[in-house]
């Protein structure tokens, strides 16, 4: 099946990647847009891993306000250059993350930020709810509940509100792939009146 420029442009708008990456993915997927998007997502993760060691000394602090100014968030996203920090796609990405924070109220940035005493308390609650279960089953239940806790409370592990097929971490990786620079969310805050 021949890949047209309109097809490539459509995939670029869907994913935010460059023209050559979009064309290559569409060719590999034989014109299937969903399959091509999956190919790009996987490739974005590997490109992001290659750039992970590059220093992020620039970036922006982005604020978002919602509900007549009653709820807001602030997020700090770092990147490699001020050129990218001023890029419209980067600003839109920062706004999406800040809006996600308002909507999903994460408490921690990543699972590494969850204090040991919180994990111990969550583990104890699960054990109390499952008294009498065999030890090996209980261990699996605890592990599953902790994974669910991370998905609900850690920003990077939450499902992105605009696309629940990807986590915030995967969103970051897709932006690294499309903008060509290492970037990371380094902090956030959420405020609410009432």
Predicted confidence (pLDDT) per residue in 12-49, tens digit: 766 666 667 777 888 888 888 788 877 777 666 445 45
Residues 97 and 172 in one domain: yes
Q: Which domain holds residue 71?
A: 58-109+154-192
Instruction: Identify the CATH number of the domain in which residue 180 sits.
Output: 3.30.479.20
Q: How confident is the model at residue 54 (pLDDT cuts 50, 70, 90)?
A: low
Residues 18 and 88 in one domain: no
Residues 24 and 45 in one domain: yes
Length of the chain: 194
Nearest to 14 by CA among 146, 181, 165: 165
- Domain count for the chain, please give it: 3
In the three-class reduction of DSSP (H, G, I as helix; E, B as strand; rest coil), residue 73 is classed as strand
| Tokens read off for 144 | 């599953």
Q: How many other C-beta atoms lie within 10 A of the C-beta of residue 32? A: 14
Dist. CA 82–CA 37, nearest whole Å:
29
Which are the contacts of 43, defined by CB distance < 8 A and separation ≥ 6?
21, 25, 177
Residues 179 and 168 in one domain: yes
Contact between 48 and 42 (Cβ < 8 Å): no
Q: Considering the entire predicted model, what is its pTM?
A: 0.71
| Tokens read off for 62 | 């982005």
Instruction: Identify the CATH number of the domain in which residue 29 sits.
Output: 1.10.8.10
Which are the contacts of 30, defined by CB distance < 8 A and separation ≥ 6?
1
Residues 37 and 122 in one domain: no
pLDDT digits (tens, 9 = 90+) for 162-190: 999 999 999 998 898 888 888 999 999 99
Which are the contacts of 14, defined by CB distance < 8 A and separation ≥ 6?
33, 37
């Amino acid at each position: 099946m021949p890949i047209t420029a309109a097809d490539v442009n459509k995939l670029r708008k869907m994913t935010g990647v460059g023209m050559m990456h979009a064309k290559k993915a569409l060719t590999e997927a034989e014109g299937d847009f969903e399959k091509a998007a999956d190919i790009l997502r996987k490739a974005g993760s590997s490109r992001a891993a290659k750039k992970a060691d590059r220093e992020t000394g620039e970036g922006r602090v982005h604020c978002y306000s919602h509900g007549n100014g009653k709820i807001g968030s602030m997020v700090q996203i770092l990147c490699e250059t001020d050129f990218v920090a001023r890029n419209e796609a980067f600003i839109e990405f920062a706004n999406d993350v800040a809006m996600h924070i308002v909507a999903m109220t994460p408490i921690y940035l990543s699972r590494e930020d969850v204090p040991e005493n919180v994990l111990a308390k969550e583990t104890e609650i699960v054990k109390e709810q499952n008294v009498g279960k065999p030890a090996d089953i209980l261990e699996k239940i605890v592990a599953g509940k902790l994974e669910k806790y991370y998905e609900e409370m850690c920003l990077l592990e939450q499902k992105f509100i605009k696309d629940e097929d990807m986590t915030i971490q995967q969103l970051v990786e897709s932006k690294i792939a499309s903008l060509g620079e290492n970037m990371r969310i380094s902090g956030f805050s959420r405020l609410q009146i009432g």
